[in-house]
Amino acid sequence: MPNVTSYHVLFYGSPDGYQTNRAQITLYDGNTVVAYVRFNDPGMAFENDGMLGTIIRMHLPSTMFANVIDVLRNEKPVTVYFAAGRGFLGTGKEPTGEGE
């Protein structure tokens, strides 16, 4: 399960976005791309999550963008993996009441 050590954000303009996507966050483990998290507006076609070689392709609604950025900015460790036909992005186990 790769750790996410850095990320890169890209927004797509125009009414149709780019390749059915409105935005993309590229996730890295060191210098290696481990996942593309792609965001779609309502009414845009959603692709299925999948793998392209070793790179995870995960698709979420645009309404989840702020939540994903918040996790990437504020949580550690963050991991990404692919199982049961879908991408998963999450944090490690943390104690309750830890605060920010």
pLDDT of res. 98:
67
Contacts of residue 37, defined as CB under 8 A and 6 or more positions apart, other chains included, come to: 24, 25, 27, 58, 59, 60, 68, 87, 89
The runs of H, that is alpha helices, within 1-100 are 65-74
Within a domain: 60: yes
Write down the pTM of the prediction. Answer: 0.90
Domain hosting 37: range is 6-91
- How big is the chain by its Cα radius of gyration, in Å? 14
Q: Cα angle at 19 between 47 and 8, to 5 degrees? A: 90
- Number of domains present in the structure of the chain: 1
Mean pLDDT by 10 residues, the chain (100 residues): 93 84 96 97 90 96 96 94 96 73
Within a domain: 100: no
Within a domain: 27: yes
| 59/69 Cα distance (integer angstroms) | 14
The runs of H, that is alpha helices, within 4-99 are 65-74
pLDDT of res. 85:
96
Within a domain: 1: no
| 47/58 Cα distance (integer angstroms) | 9
